[in-house]
């Protein structure tokens, strides 16, 4: 499907929009959802796939020799295969681990790497602008191993300077660097980070590369493992799929060598009263009952995304973000925080006279949904010299009417203060 056929042409596939229209004074206010960066809405195909599975095939995975368990197990492993292909041709299913989400995935890999590869002479390099999920696990790893955590800064605080300082990266990524971790796409200002350059710098010194792909998997299709990544993490709910399922994909060496993070049923090969032995492959990291229904939903979500085309979704969403940005800059007292390259799907801003939290509440009166706050990135917010931002983020179902309604609501916000 071409990019121009997205938005209003596919909106009917998402029941959330019809079900959240506001009616009053003889008018219908459409639901303008501009918070896809926090979670994507779900197409009917995902909802139906999960419902059908629970009605007809639901059973425990890898636990039973009866029909529904066998069918559930096949669905679960078929989804693993599908996820591997979705990540890239250089990945196979034995590298794909199912988790609760990006946060758990990053905790697993940070903990495992710290146990095997870090000591008090090591350095970890991450940007200051990371989501807490890709910052705090590395902070804790550095504390456990009493090693150095070096932070990459932004080039500046405005417009095109809102990007990682690569000259600083060249200085910081040295021979004692063991890990370089960063987001593919930033969750606050939407910057697309220089993946190839950062991977090249890391590989030059033999460092491992971990990439947070929570914001990029629905709209970017680069094979990051072919480019040199050692591990990536993402969540199903940001991929137009369900919550409570995420993916950690790692190179085979890491899958084989990293220790498990959780312990219990399903991840052992033998247990006696003196010791336990772990199984191999993804199962080593999937203790307990797996996210079975959620895996079914993730499978349907990947099918849906691929039917629209990730490049089309990116072009469509970034085009709307650019249109919104240009109109936003013409509103008095608005300060914009965006790299403004034309490729971002996120625009963050603040009104100099209306606090971000108040702005989000005011917008809700017009049935416009945007997130306000620190966006789980306190260091970035403080670095920008603000206490909170309003974030507008676009998805496949966004359209031009969303832009017009949101801009009008922001213009009228001063009347509600």
Instruction: Give the active site residues.
Output: 376
Structure tokens at 53: 């599975």
Can you give the length of the chain in residues?
A: 417
- Which residue, among 230, 222, 184, has the nearest Cα to 206 in the 3D structure? 230
- Closest to 309 in 3D by CA, of 241, 218, 400, 216: 218
Residues sharing a CB contact under 8 Å with residue 242, sequence separation 6 or more, in sequence order: 42, 46, 50, 236, 293, 294, 297, 298, 301
Q: Are 159 and 215 in contact (CB under 8 A)?
A: no
Helix, strand, or coil (residue 69): helix
CA distance 271 to 403: 58
| Pairing of the two strands 22-24 and 27-29 | antiparallel
Rounded-to-integer distance, Cα 109 and Cα 97, Å: 11
DSSP 35: B
Q: CA 138, CA 396: separation in Å to the nearest integer?
A: 33
* Per-residue H/E/C for 294-329: HHHHHHHHHHHHHHHCHHHHHHHHHHHHHHHHHHHC
Find the distance separating the first CA and the last CA of the chain, reported in whole Å: 43
Sign of CA dihedral 103, 85, 393, 365: negative
67 pairs with which residues across the strands?
Answer: none
Between CA 285 and CA 276 the distance in angstroms is 14
Dmax (CA) of the chain: 73
Q: Give Cβ neighbours of residue 330 (< 8 Å, ≥ 6 apart).
A: none
Q: Hey, which residues does 113 pair with through a beta bridge?
A: none
Q: Are 289 and 60 in contact (CB under 8 A)?
A: yes
Tokens representing residue 333 in the block: 């007292």
């Amino acid at each position: 499907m071409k990019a121009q056929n997205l938005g209003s042409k596919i909106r009917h596939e998402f029941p959330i929009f019809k079900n959240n229209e506001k009616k009053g004074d003889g008018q219908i206010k459409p639901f303008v959802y501009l918070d896809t960066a926090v979670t994507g809405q779900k197409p009917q195909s995902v909802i139906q796939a999960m419902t059908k599975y629970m009605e007809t095939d639901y059973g425990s995975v890898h636990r039973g020799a009866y029909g529904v368990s066998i069918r559930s197990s096949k669905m679960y492993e078929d989804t693993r295969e599908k996820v591997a292909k979705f990540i890239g041709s250089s990945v196979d299913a034995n590298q794909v681990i199912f988790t609760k989400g990006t946060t758990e995935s990053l905790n697993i890999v940070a903990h495992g790497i710290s146990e095997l590869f870090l000591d008090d002479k090591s350095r970890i390099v991450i940007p200051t602008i990371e989501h807490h999920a890709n910052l705090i696990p590395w902070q804790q790893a550095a504390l456990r191993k009493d090693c150095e955590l070096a932070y990459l800064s932004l080039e500046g605080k405005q417009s095109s300077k809102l990007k990682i300082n690569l000259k600083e990266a060249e200085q910081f990524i040295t021979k004692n660097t063991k890990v370089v971790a960063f987001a593919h796409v930033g969750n606050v200002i939407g910057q697309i980070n220089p993946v190839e350059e950062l991977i090249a710098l890391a590989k030059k010194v033999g460092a491992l590369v971990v990439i947070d792909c929570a914001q990029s998997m629905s709209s970017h299709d680069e094979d990051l493992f072919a480019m040199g990544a050692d591990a990536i993490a993402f969540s199903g709910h940001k991929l137009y799929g369900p919550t409570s399922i995420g993916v950690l994909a790692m190179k085979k060496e890491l899958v084989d060598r990293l220790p498990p993070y959780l312990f219990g049923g399903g991840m052992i090969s033998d247990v006696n009263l003196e010791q336990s032995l772990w199984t191999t492959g993804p199962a080593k990291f999937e203790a307990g009952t797996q996210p079975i229904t959620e895996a079914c939903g993730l499978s349907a979500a990947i099918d849906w995304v691929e039917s629209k085309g990730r490049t089309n979704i990116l072009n469509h969403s970034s085009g709307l973000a650019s249109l919104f940005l240009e109109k936003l800059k013409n509103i008095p007292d608005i300060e914009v925080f965006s790299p403004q390259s034309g490729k971002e799907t996120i625009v963050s801003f603040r009104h100099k006279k209306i606090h971000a939290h108040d702005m989000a509440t005011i917008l809700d009166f017009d049935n416009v949904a945007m997130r306000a706050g620190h966006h789980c990135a306190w260091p970035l917010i403080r670095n920008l010299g603000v206490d909170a931002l309003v974030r507008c983020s676009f998805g496949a179902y966004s359209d031009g009417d969303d832009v017009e309604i949101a801009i009008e609501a922001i213009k009228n916000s001063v009347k509600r203060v």
